Amino acid sequence: MRRSWRAPRPFVLESADAVAHQALFRRPGEIDLAVVVAAHGGVLVHGRLDRGEGAMLRTPAGAVLTVDERLEGTPHGLFIAAHEAGHLVLHPDVGLSAWCRVVSGSFFQREIDASDFGSRVLTPGPLVEAWLRAAEATLGAHGLTLHVARAFADVFRVSLPVALLRLVARVEEPLAAVCTREGVVRWWSATNAFPFDLTMRFALGRAAHARTSEALARHVAHGEPELVPAEAWTKHRRARGATLVEHSVRFEGGAPADGALTLLRARAG
In the predicted model, is pLDDT for residue 206 greater than 80? no
DSSP, res 232: G
pTM here? Answer: 0.86
What local confidence, expressed as pLDDT, does residue 246 receive?
87
Range of weakest confidence among 11-20, 87-96, 147-156, 157-166 = 87-96
Mean pLDDT of the residues in the chain: 83
Q: Where does the pLDDT of residue 182 fall: very low under 50, low under 70, confident under 90, or very high at 90 and above?
A: confident
* Per-residue pLDDT tens digits for 50-103: 877 888 988 888 899 999 999 999 999 999 999 999 999 999 887 764 443 334
Query: CA–CA separation, 70 vs 50, rounded Å?
Result: 11
Bridge partner residues of 177 (DSSP) = 189, 263
Bridge partner residues of 189 (DSSP) = 4, 177
What local confidence, expressed as pLDDT, does residue 155 receive?
95
Q: Which domains does the chain have, with CATH numbers?
A: 2-122 (1.10.10), 126-266 (3.30.450)
Mean predicted confidence (pLDDT) in 203-223:
54
DSSP, res 41: T
* Per-residue pLDDT tens digits for 113-135: 999 999 999 999 999 999 999 99
What local confidence, expressed as pLDDT, does residue 257 receive?
54
What local confidence, expressed as pLDDT, does residue 193 receive?
93
In the predicted model, is pLDDT for residue 258 greater than 80? no
Alpha carbon 165 to its chain centroid, in Å, reads 6
For every residue of 58-117, DSSP letters joined together read EETTEEEEEEEGGGTTSHHHHHHHHHHHHHHHH-TTTTSHHHHH---TTHHHHHHHHHHH
Q: Where does the pLDDT of residue 220 fall: very low under 50, low under 70, confident under 90, or very high at 90 and above?
A: very low
Query: CA–CA separation, 202 vs 234, rounded Å?
Result: 7
Burial of 120 (0-12, 13-18, 19+ CB in 10 A): buried
What local confidence, expressed as pLDDT, does residue 249 receive?
84
Mean predicted confidence (pLDDT) in 211-218:
50
Q: Where does the pLDDT of residue 221 fall: very low under 50, low under 70, confident under 90, or very high at 90 and above?
A: very low
What local confidence, expressed as pLDDT, does residue 38 receive?
95
**CA-CA-CA-CA torsion sign (116, 117, 118, 124):** positive
Mean predicted confidence (pLDDT) in 14-29:
90
Full strand arrangement of the beta sheet holding 54-59: 42-47, 62-68, 54-59
What local confidence, expressed as pLDDT, does residue 131 receive?
94
Please report, for residues 86, 113, 203, 256, the alpha-carbon distance to residue 65 in angstroms, rounded to integers and kept in the order given: 11, 17, 39, 25
Q: Where does the pLDDT of residue 110 fall: very low under 50, low under 70, confident under 90, or very high at 90 and above?
A: confident
